[in-house]
Structure 1
Amino acid sequence: MDTVNVAAGFARIDEQWRPKIVGRLNGQEVKLVKAEGVFPWHTHADVDEMFLVHRGRFRVEFRTHIADLGPGEFVIVPRGVEHRTAADEEAEVMIFEPAGVPNTGDVLDERFTAPIGAEI
């Protein structure tokens, strides 16, 4: 039952696109990620995921539209929906999803696929 300081968690992250776990509940993981640039198109066949912006501007791009998010805004990507994420300048984002979900979904990418279970 430790308190998590989100800003301090982000301060410990020194890489882009590699989410770090800061909490777990009911089979879900709460992750922090710094993002800049464009992430690959991918899907998560069996899980929904939620992106909540802490700092900066962050986009979740779908084939039919773009969710452009600022601090305090979130979007839920339904399972099976192809998407990619992007940020023109560095953004800090919280991700909520089931434990063990690869961040690149159905795509393996040496630059973007993060290790499962990485914590800070």
Structure 2
Amino acid sequence: MQYFIIVILVSICGSALCTEAEWDENKKYCSEKLNVNLDEARDAVRGRTKEADVTKDIKCHFLCMGERQKIIKDGVFQPQVFKQILSAVDDKVLLTKATEECSKKGTDDCDTGFKVATCISRNDLRKYM
């Protein structure tokens, strides 16, 4: 369990020095910045909400989180950073497959953030992030 928490914190903050408080602060920052309900965001990224019904603010929430994780920069997915963050994943085939799948560009930066987040969720990588 401690290993899981460390992997999450490293992926969100980009360094091993991130604390659980910083993780919560990042999540809170993005949700407050965009006035997003975290339960609604979670449902959207896990496919419980039709993509057509996902609001722009929810999509931008995932862009915000991706930027804070440094896996999205200037609206572009950063596969090398993604691989580095998830270097602890034992299944390298899954990691390579997910990296290729998550490299898709959306219709705008927020859509890209949402596509990356849903890709991570779809490939069951959220347990590593």
Higher strand share: 1
Could you say which structure has the greater relative contact order, defined with CA pairs below 8 angstroms and 6 or more residues apart?
1
Please classify the TM superposition score into its range, dividing by the shorter chain length.
under 0.3
- Give TM-score scaled by structure 2 length: 0.25
Higher helix content, 1 or 2: 2
